[in-house]
Amino acid sequence: MSTIFLIIIVAAFINNAVLVQCYGICPFLGVSKKMGNALGMGLAVTLVMAITCLVTFPIYNYVLIPLGLEFLEIIVFIFVIAALVQMLEKVIKKFMPPLYNAMGIYLPLITTNCAVLGVAETVMDTTAMETIFHLSQGQFNVGHAVIYGIFLGLGFTLAICLMSGLRDKVDKLEMSKHLKGFPITMATASFMAMAFYVFALVRI
Amino acid sequence: MTGSKFKEIAKNGILVNNPTFRLVLGTCPTLAISSSVFNSLGMGLAVTFILICSNIIISALRKVIPNEVRIPAFILIIATFVTVVRMFLYRYVPSLYKSLGVFLPLIVVNCIILGRAESFASKNPVLDSAADGLFTGIGFTLAITLIGIVREVLGAGAFLGYKLWDFSIDYFGNTAGAFLVYGLMIAGFNALYEKFENNRKRRNYIEEMRASSLAIEAGETKATEKVEEKKEA
């Protein structure tokens, strides 16, 4: 139980996807103008991350490693993620039309989101994960990987929603026209990252 | 490929469409890797190599790849070259392999490479695409190295690993500083770019006015000559 709590804290705050590890900056800057859109994007990323961890972790550890094909990991992962996103879009469109209307348009964008490939690459390295979470060898399993994926996604959602709230105010300020847009958004993100830097000092 | 086209591709890649400062693409590696000059240079060169290779292959295959499946095909080609670079670094430059970490495989989803494949290589001949890959890569390398210099000098008090002085601000070494430096550099680059562009426009305008006034003067002299000719007649 304490391991799961540790994974949640590490994934959501200490290794926050956007503000600590710099994953998924494109949607963070691009889709954070309105709170509704930001929430939709964040939840879509969370869903895809959870499913990606569920699928790529077994593929890497139980298929690629026994066959000695570790070097194919990048190609396999990107194809699995692309196929998953396509299938997920079809399924959601068919069975959950309101959800599709809320976050369907963000799903195709997620294929080329580094956060998703990044979580697949982080989670599959079981030895590194076991040293972080004080587990003995072979104890880090699919369940842990999926929890890590979900909470990394929720950390991303938290960051992007906070950003959209701040941008509501910041974009209305008067400033030099060269500072408008990306520069001032990045300066705002810098202050948010400073706040999250505190979590790096937590000893686990 | 003519010289003027080559020049235009170079100018587009490094200045007008600079991927980092003008288009703000490939932000994730730029922010995460630029904490030291060595890593920035390594990342820039890796991306440049992959850009050139993938642009050449995609442009050579542009008439063979069906339009409907072009994106997966591009991603497959890019992923192949990323794997090649990763193996090369693992064998020959292990220190860089270690410090780039997970951002090395993440080059696959770097929007700069897919963007150039989609907007340039899939429409242009091989040699042009190779030049475009080279100059876009140089634009990216210059930009990320510039950010790397600022962050390493301020954040670690060092340059390329050599200690300059015993003074450092940790803020520039972590993500928060990366965001600020990158943001301010975009603002500065855009301001400079606009200034140059305005100067160029003004110069062109003055030249045009001069040319047209010369033309008018020439026309007037001709007209007066004609009038005089008529009078004589």
Model confidence pLDDT, tens digit, residues A2-44? 888 888 988 888 888 888 888 888 888 888 888 888 888 888 8
| Predicted pLDDT at B223 | 67
Residue contact B75–A78, C-beta within 8 A: yes
A133 belongs to a structural domain: yes
Cβ density class B88-111: b for 16+ within 10 Å, e for less: ebeeeeeebbebbebbbbbbbbbb
> B162: which strand partners?
B159
| Helices A73-95 + A114-124 axis angle, to 10 | 120
Mean pLDDT score of chain B = 88
| Predicted pLDDT at B161 | 78
Contact yes or no for A81/A116 (Cβ under 8 A): yes
User: A96 — contact with chain B (CB < 8 Å)?
Assistant: no
A23 belongs to a structural domain: yes
Contacts A178 to B, Cβ<8 Å? 187-188, 190-191, 194
pLDDT tens digits for range B66-81: 888 888 889 889 999 9
Q: What's the residue count for chain B? A: 233
pLDDT tens digits for range B133-167: 999 999 999 999 999 999 999 988 888 878 888 88
pTM: 0.86
Rg (CA), chain B: 25
pLDDT grade for A68, boundaries at 50, 70 and 90: confident
Mean pLDDT on B35-62 = 93
Contact yes or no for B75/A81 (Cβ under 8 A): no
User: A191 — contact with chain B (CB < 8 Å)?
Assistant: yes
pLDDT grade for A99, boundaries at 50, 70 and 90: confident
**Quick one: what percent of chain A has pLDDT higher than 70?**
97
Residue A77 has pLDDT above 70, yes or no: yes
**Quick one: what percent of chain A has pLDDT higher than 90?**
23
Residue contact A75–B190, C-beta within 8 A: no
pLDDT tens digits for range A131-177: 888 888 878 888 999 999 999 999 999 999 999 999 988 888 888 88
* Helix, strand, coil share of chain A (percent; to 5): 75, 0, 25
- Rounded to the nearest angstrom, the minimum Cα separation between B27 and chain A is 6
A2 belongs to a structural domain: no
The minimal CB distance from A74 to the residues B82, B180, B191 is found for B82
A5 belongs to a structural domain: no
Mean pLDDT on A45-62 = 91
Domain around A117: 11-200
Contacts B176 to A, Cβ<8 Å? 190-191, 193-194, 197
- Rounded to the nearest angstrom, the minimum Cα separation between A88 and chain B is 17
pLDDT grade for B94, boundaries at 50, 70 and 90: very high
pLDDT tens digits for range B10-23: 888 888 888 888 88
- Greater pLDDT, B41 or B5: B41
Residue contact A178–B27, C-beta within 8 A: no
A30 belongs to a structural domain: yes
Contacts A193 to B, Cβ<8 Å? 174-176, 179
Question: For residue A23, what is the nearest residue in chain B, using CA coordinates?
Answer: B28
Residue contact B24–A179, C-beta within 8 A: no
> B158: which strand partners?
B163
**Chain B residues with a Cβ under 8 Å from any Cβ in chain A:** 24-25, 27-28, 31-32, 72, 75-76, 79-80, 82-83, 86-87, 102, 105-106, 108-111, 114, 171, 174-180, 182-184, 186-188, 190-191, 194
Mean pLDDT score of chain A = 86
Domain map (residue ranges) of chain B: 3-190
| Predicted pLDDT at A83 | 86
Mean pLDDT on B110-126 = 88
- Reduced to 3 states, what is the DSSP secondary structure of residue B162? strand
| Predicted pLDDT at B71 | 83
Whole-angstrom distance, CA of residue B62 vs CA of residue B65: 6
Residue contact A29–B24, C-beta within 8 A: yes
Which residues between 38 and 67 in chain A have a beta carbon less than 8 angstroms from any beta carbon of chain B?
Answer: none
A161 belongs to a structural domain: yes
CB count, 10 Å around CB of A169? 9
| Predicted pLDDT at A96 | 80
The H or E element containing residue B92 is: helix B70-92
pLDDT grade for A104, boundaries at 50, 70 and 90: low
Residue contact B83–A190, C-beta within 8 A: no
Strand positions, DSSP E, chain B? 158-159, 162-163
| Predicted pLDDT at B143 | 93
| Predicted pLDDT at A38 | 86
pLDDT tens digits for range B16-48: 888 888 888 888 888 988 888 999 999 999 999
Which residues between 136 and 175 in chain A have a beta carbon less than 8 angstroms from any beta carbon of chain B?
Answer: none
Domains of chain A: total: 1
User: A194 — contact with chain B (CB < 8 Å)?
Assistant: yes
The minimal CB distance from B179 to the residues A24, A114, A189 is found for A189
Whole-angstrom distance, CA of residue B107 vs CA of residue B88: 15
DSSP-assigned letter for residue A125: -
